[in-house]
Structure 1
């Protein structure tokens, strides 16, 4: 399934993979953004995967739990894939999560992915008690309640996240989450590890 900002339904079943015949030049997908890309894996990897996701998207959380760890162990940690995570807020809660994640991680990509994982694992709490959960996550990262509040009022950060989302919508035609680009080839919605492995291995052999 695909979650769009116009049709955000948290209770949708986790089922389908939507396929669209869209390919974007890899150089277009990896253009520098308003915020620096957060990535795992070598810069010169032959395959680059870019994921657009949102913390309150249940399909994104399922991918993070069930599929991403396998991609990481088999392809990222072995130097075959560079994996980029980009924010695509579906709502104000997602935007707040994205802002706090950036604040906690700074320029540390490993820490960024760790915080993203925490956000997904605490998705239910974030949806139901957003402010309390964000303050808790911030405190666990060493931030005071005031620092978290100041972070969520950072208009410059909000503008940069919005600029990245506008690029995704206008240039890459991203409509919802999760959306992936594998060397420019788009995967919309859920896909299992086997689908990613098939595409990655095909590119590695070419």
Structure 2
């Protein structure tokens, strides 16, 4: 038994305007993070009757750290991949390990890719829900590292299975939950939260609630230092 995630359209005119203009805004802010070229298609917005409606925000680091860095990402966005591979590890090394930063991941499927903007984070949330936050961040880090070629995502069920097994998650469950949209309500809620906070492109980085102009290490580091 399935149900559609979208019921009657209760979106306000202003929210519809934001959604309608999202692609144009994101193109201006982070060119290359939009769909429309060479991506997979065929994603479904149907969710199962046993869909998970909510999960805690994945957190890396001390829950009570003095500074919070929150990042909104689309797993099919090349700029998000650059952030995950080049910027996030430096933040973790410099600030998370020392207890200065609480690092939060938030999903914001634009979607760049009709399939993987939903299934990749869905798989990651399955890992989070069954194994925990530490496994979630290990899984997503390797997903961004190993699931790309020539600037485009090359995700596959085989890769999801391998990475799930590597963090002691059940690969069959992870793949089934991802393709079956079991965590779609969680992803939709995160996206809605991002819109409420002014997110228009990915990656979007907040430091202590303030949206930064640029998601680069220098900008983020400066904002963190100001908060310490």
TM-score band (shorter)? 0.7 to 0.9
Q: How does 1:1-206 map to 2 (within 5 A)?
A: 2=30, 7-8=34-35, 34-89=54-109, 90=111, 91=113, 92-106=115-129, 108-124=132-148, 127-128=153-154, 130-141=156-167, 146-169=172-195, 171-191=196-216, 193-204=217-228
Q: What is the CA-CA distance between 1:140 and the residue it aligns to?
A: 4.2
**Runs of at least 5 residues in structure 2 that lack an aligned partner in the other structure:** 1-28, 39-52
Q: What is the CA-CA distance between 1:143 and the residue it aligns to?
A: 5.8
Q: Distance in 2 between matches of 1:101 and 1:37?
A: 12
Q: Distance in 1 between matches of 2:172 and 2:197?
A: 37
Q: Distance in 1 between matches of 2:37 and 2:78?
A: 6
2:148 aligns to what SS in structure 1? helix
Q: How many residues align?
A: 180
Q: Spell out structure 1 runs of 4+ moving beyond 6 A.
A: none
1:49-68, CA deviations, whole angstroms, 9 ceiling, x for partnerless residues? 10011222111111222221
Q: Distance in 2 between matches of 1:143 and 1:44?
A: 27
**Runs of at least 5 residues in structure 1 that lack an aligned partner in the other structure:** 12-32
Q: What is the CA-CA distance between 1:139 and the residue it aligns to?
A: 4.5
Q: Do the aligned partners of 2:161 and 2:172 also contact (CA within 8 Å) in 1?
A: no
Q: Do the aligned partners of 1:40 and 1:76 also contact (CA within 8 Å) in 2?
A: yes
Give the CA RMSD over aligned residues: 2.8
Q: Distance in 1 between matches of 2:198 and 2:32?
A: 12
Task: Indicate the structure whose relative CO is greater, using CA pairs within 8 Å and at least 6 residues apart.
Answer: 1
**Structure 1 86/98 Cα, relative in aligned 2: closer, same or farther at 3 Å?**
same
**Structure 1 141/114 Cα, relative in aligned 2: closer, same or farther at 3 Å?**
closer
